[in-house]
């Protein structure tokens, strides 16, 4: 049994962490941190926790928290952890950060896209990018894990095998992604009001969304070179879910007869199977099936499908996840399981909810 603390426990991702960790047989939550609800009962903030959580919310004193627990989850805005993290904290506990503070290795790129100063760049090199299916061994030995964003988790997993195997030109990659409104957080914001969101769909962060460099960095590692992509997110009127539809030009590859041609459906499927066949949380769909957010809701699964457009020589890749689970809290728990030697799906073997 390990002890866990959560800073930002009253946001959507933090609340999802609480829900998942309460069902984890190896974890005891010792600290429900929330700057906005100090001394209020957690179950008063989230009524679904009535008679399940009796604790009151505490502050965000991470130095004190680090002395009491084995792992800290920080479900906080960008800049919080970078502003308080010290070597002493990392000597006392492991940290899984759900913000973007340690996802990007280049501090200048972080400061350019997030418009804030990074206060602890000395930890950037050490931080492990916590996309478990790609960096499993590095996560196991980490003190500090940068939990990926929801858009990036879905988008990277959807394209990674084809980039890694050289089946597509990554510089032609276009990512068109849609998210439920919980991805914007629980704060009161005019664009997130019911009347603003309901019966509406809109693009935002066009050619400027801050997840773009994260996507480019990670897919660049897969390609073995720098890549430049186009990424456009959209807000849709649903609570949960990410659906990424991605387009890229196919590259001709050597065939068994020695000629070069665009890869077949069988070759593309083989590439996905090479990397994901043994992955519990990634479900590569049968040919002709398209991922839907409703089939992953409430779960840590990522569903992936594809369709080759022979007319244009391009491929359409599709991925779906629950933005609060595989895109945030579930992936954080998956990282924790790896860091402490638990079964990777412990506390996460959740059947998707429907309806």
Beta pairing class for 2-7 and 71-74: parallel
- Claim to verify: residue 162 and residue 110 sit in the same structural domain: no
**Same structural domain for residues 155 and 114?**
no
Closest listed residue to residue 299, CA positions, set 342, 274, 328? 328
Instruction: Give 252's pLDDT tier (boundaries 50, 70, 90).
Output: very high
> Domain span at residue 91?
2-126
pLDDT > 90: what percent of the chain? Answer: 95
Question: Does 37 have pLDDT greater than 90?
Answer: yes
Task: Return the pLDDT at 332.
Answer: 98
Q: Which of 126, 142, 175 is the last residue of a domain?
A: 126
Helical packing angle, 150-164 and 265-276, nearest 10°: 120
Q: Per-residue pLDDT averaged across 230-245, rounded?
A: 97
Residue 277 lies in a domain: yes
Mean pLDDT of the chain: 97
Average pLDDT over residues 295-318: 98
Q: Is 150 a catalytic residue?
A: yes
Report the pLDDT averaged over residues 153-171. Answer: 98
Residues 112 and 234 in one domain: no
Q: What is the CATH number of the domain that holds 38?
A: 3.40.50.720
Buried b or exposed e, range 250-263, using 16+ CB within 10 angstroms: bbeeeeeeeeeebb
In a domain, 330, yes or no: no
In this predicted structure, the answer to whether residue 336 has a pLDDT above a threshold of 90 is: yes
Residues 316 and 195 in one domain: yes
Asked if residue 283 and residue 174 are part of one domain, the reply reads: yes
Same domain for 179 and 271, yes or no, is yes
- Is 312 contained in some domain? yes
Q: How does pLDDT run across 98-138, given as a tens digit for each residue?
A: 999 999 999 999 999 999 999 999 999 999 999 999 999 99
* Block residue for tokens 């941190």: 33
Percent of the chain at pLDDT above 70? 100
* pLDDT higher than threshold 80 for residue 63: yes
Q: Tell me the mean pLDDT in the region 243-257.
A: 95
Pair (41, 160) in one structural domain: no
User: Mean per-residue pLDDT for 297-308?
Assistant: 98
Residue among 57, 150, 195, 265 flagged as catalytic: 150
Nearest Cα to Cα of residue 171 among 210, 214, 226? 226
pLDDT of residue 187: 79
Does 131 map to a domain?
A: no
- In this structure, the answer to whether residues 158 and 121 fall within a common structural domain is no
Q: Are 160 and 65 contained in the same domain? A: no
Instruction: Tell me, yes or no, whether 344 lies in a domain.
Output: no
Claim to verify: residue 38 and residue 164 sit in the same structural domain: no
Number of domains in the chain: 2
Domain holding 279: CATH number? 3.30.360.10
Longest dimension (CA), the chain: 71
The model's pLDDT over 171-215, given as tens digits with 9 standing for 90+, comes to 999 999 999 999 888 877 888 889 999 999 999 999 999 999 999
Same domain, 196 and 243: yes
| Predicted local distance difference test score (pLDDT) of residue 184 | 83
Shared domain check, 314 and 190: yes
């Amino acid at each position: 049994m390990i002890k866990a603390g959560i800073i930002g426990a009253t946001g959507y991702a933090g609340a999802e962490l609480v829900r998942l960790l309460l069902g984890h047989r190896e974890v005891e939550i010792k600290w429900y941190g929330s700057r906005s609800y100090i001394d209020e009962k957690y179950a008063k903030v989230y009524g679904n926790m009535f008679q399940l959580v009796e604790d009151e919310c505490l502050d965000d004193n991470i130095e004190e928290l680090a002395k009491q627990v084995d792992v800290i989850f920080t479900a906080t805005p960008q800049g919080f952890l970078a502003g308080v993290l010290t070597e002493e904290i990392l000597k006392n506990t492991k940290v899984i950060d759900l913000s973007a503070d340690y996802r990007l290795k280049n501090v200048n790129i972080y400061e350019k896209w997030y418009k804030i100063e990074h206060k602890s760049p000395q930890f950037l090199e050490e931080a492990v990018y916590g996309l478990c299916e790609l960096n499993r061994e590095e996560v196991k030995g980490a003190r500090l894990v940068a939990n990926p964003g929801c858009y990036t988790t879905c988008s990277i997993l959807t394209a990674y095998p084809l980039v890694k195997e050289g089946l597509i030109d990554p510089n032609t990659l276009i990512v068109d992604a849609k998210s439920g409104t919980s991805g914007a957080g629980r704060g009161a914001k005019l664009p997130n009001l019911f009347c603003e969101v309901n019966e509406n769909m809109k693009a935002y962060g066009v050619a400027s969304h801050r997840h773009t460099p994260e996507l480019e960095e990670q897919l660049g590692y897969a390609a073995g070179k720098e890549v430049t992509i186009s990424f456009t997110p959209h807000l849709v009127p649903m609570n949960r879910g990410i659906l990424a539809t991605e387009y890229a030009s196919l590259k001709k590859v050597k065939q068994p007869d020695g000629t070069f041609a665009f890869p077949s459906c069988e070759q593309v499927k083989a590439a996905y199977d090479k990397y994901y066949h043994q992955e519990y949380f990634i479900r590569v769909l049968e040919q002709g099936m398209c991922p839907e957010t409703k089939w992953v809701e409430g779960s840590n699964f990522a569903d992936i499908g594809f369709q080759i457009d022979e007319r244009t020589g391009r491929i359409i890749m599709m991925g779906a996840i629950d933005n609060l689970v595989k895109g945030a809290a579930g992936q954080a728990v998956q990282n924790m399981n790896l860091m402490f030697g638990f079964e990777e799906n412990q506390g996460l073997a959740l059947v998707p909810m429907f309806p």
